[in-house]
Structure 1
């Protein structure tokens, strides 16, 4: 009897520890190693065994969901070389101005800044050698690829799509959320128990997804700073107790920027963190990068702060292999 009881306690403790391990979300694939959101980056990320692989979604001119971090093309592709005359008055190139066929003709490279310098200087530099290898993928291509890799490898790695700039798309005459929901339904993924998290920065769209469009999959409200002009949402309000209560009515959790959770001067959690925890909201912060750590901190101390002290529920990371390896040691 005692042996049975002790065995039960040990098993319960083991299961609790396993469940407590934070989710590893491969941010734009294995973007610390290969150009973000490309199929090679997805394949590499899948082999690293994260829990989820993220897809940022925008629309082409002909209404196809493609995987790009934002509505612009110029920072991650050679669009300025191939379609110089297609830039808008602001000097930017927009995905929604190009058909899928045109988008597929572009070559993807590591993210560059306004000075045409690679943002993360030490990341992948072989674009000129195998430029044809990295192309824009559709959401469905990534979805099918992940499903097939899951089947062949006998694993169940999920997807973590983000609806990008829904108000921008509606102003251009396209409803990105409806098109997204059709894809979820087509692949049988609009279920509460699907290995899917859906995320969005626009709180009005978060509510619409849940209340009007019938999203049943888990839903995360992303949080930004108002100065970023990420959407029309008031993030100062959303980070307040009343705002978090509004989020909790429709979403399962929040996706905050890491500095919104902790004061790195005294390593104290913010009120946003404690209030979100009190409401039972999952917390999936972004973005953990081995080559862009908080000042004065190394990889181990950053991981210990996020995982062992704050105990976040998940983490977006460009280096999923490193986080999986850390989880394995805990």
Structure 2
């Protein structure tokens, strides 16, 4: 069985602040075959590369006195959030921010690089990935329904941005909001679409029993807790790729029986091997180098080189 596709989750975000140039370049150096990014919209309708519309946990926005009056309380995924939101800032204002580590106590080595890289646009990441020949770009639409209610429909903005780009790498588009993927298909977007599954615990285990529901997509991406050999086989038999997220070595992200007391990392290799042996065709990893060690020899998986 071929080794799964190695997808750097927000870049090598175990080592550098997520979704920054440094995280992407390091991921490529470590052998990632694909780079995963999240996009949200600015006030003027540009797509920027951030995981969350609220910016204070992953940028230095709070240190910008000129933006102090933009602090707001808003609801995201049904929960009140206080901070600075991408949709309230222009592209120029967002580009003035720099990335910072989301989990500084857990990943102090990454936090040491806080402030090194500016917030990136979608086009800047496209250009970076194009320079690394043979690398795929995986684009996730974040909070698409919320953004549409604000007059910033991510599916339309993404379709237009991709249509304007002079050149593109191989691109896959994914979202937890499957209706946003359907709208992209209706707009004639031909890039492969992947349905993310794993944020609705009460219904996810029922959802994965019906792979035929996802026949219009190129694949599905399952939360690791949903990965079982029988589940994966059902999707594979339906002709779908099956990815899983997210491979992280730290104890707090591992099932209890794989944790190691007194160590920051648990028995992650054993857990990851269980996921790989279930037959998945792609894995998202925060530490691409550690994941590659479990996937096999780089020569066997066609790892691209970065010039």
TM-score range, shorter chain: 0.7 to 0.9
Partner of 1:320: 288
Pick from 177, 180, 183 the counterpart of residue 158 of structure 2. Answer: 180
8 Å Cα contact 1:38-1:135 kept in structure 2: yes
Query: What are the within-5 Å matches in structure 2 for residues 151-190 of structure 1?
Result: 155-187=133-165
Question: How many pairs are equivalent?
Answer: 279
Q: Is 1:221 aligned to 2:195, yes or no?
A: yes
Partner of 1:98: 89
Deviation at 1:235, TM superposition (A): 4.7
Deviation at 1:259, TM superposition (A): 0.5
Bigger fraction of residues in strand: 2
Structure number with higher relative contact order (C-alpha < 8 Å, ≥ 6 residues apart): 2
Compared CA separation, residues 224 and 119, structure 1 to 2 (3 A): farther
8 Å Cα contact 2:3-2:296 kept in structure 1: no
Partner of 1:290: 249
Partner of 1:115: none
1:201-222 Cα shifts (integer Å, max 9, x gaps): 1011121112x11121111000
Give the match's secondary structure for 2:170: coil
Deviates more, 1:180-189 or 1:29-38: 180-189
Deviation at 1:273, TM superposition (A): 3.2
Pick from 117, 122, 125 the counterpart of residue 111 of structure 2. Answer: 125
TM-score under structure 1 length normalisation: 0.78
What is the alpha-carbon root mean square deviation over aligned residues? 2.3
Structure 1 unaligned spans of 5+: 1-16, 113-117, 229-233, 263-268
Rg: which structure is higher?
Answer: 1
Partner of 1:246: 213
How far apart, in 2, do the equivalents of 1:327 and 1:121 lie? 24
Give the match's secondary structure for 1:273: helix
Deviation at 1:225, TM superposition (A): 2.8
Compared CA separation, residues 59 and 204, structure 1 to 2 (3 A): same
TM-score under structure 2 length normalisation: 0.83
Query: What are the within-5 Å matches in structure 2 for residues 77-156 of structure 1?
Result: 77-82=59-64, 83-90=67-74, 91-112=82-103, 118=104, 120-127=106-113, 131=115, 133-148=116-131, 150=132, 155-156=133-134
How far apart, in 2, do the equivalents of 1:51 and 1:41 lie? 14
How far apart, in 1, do the equivalents of 2:129 and 2:199 lie? 32
Pick from 14, 18, 21 the counterpart of residue 39 of structure 1. Answer: 21
How far apart, in 2, do the equivalents of 1:101 and 1:226 lie? 36
How far apart, in 1, do the equivalents of 2:190 and 2:161 lie? 14
8 Å Cα contact 1:284-1:314 kept in structure 2: yes
Pick from 259, 268, 271 the counterpart of residue 225 of structure 2. Answer: 259
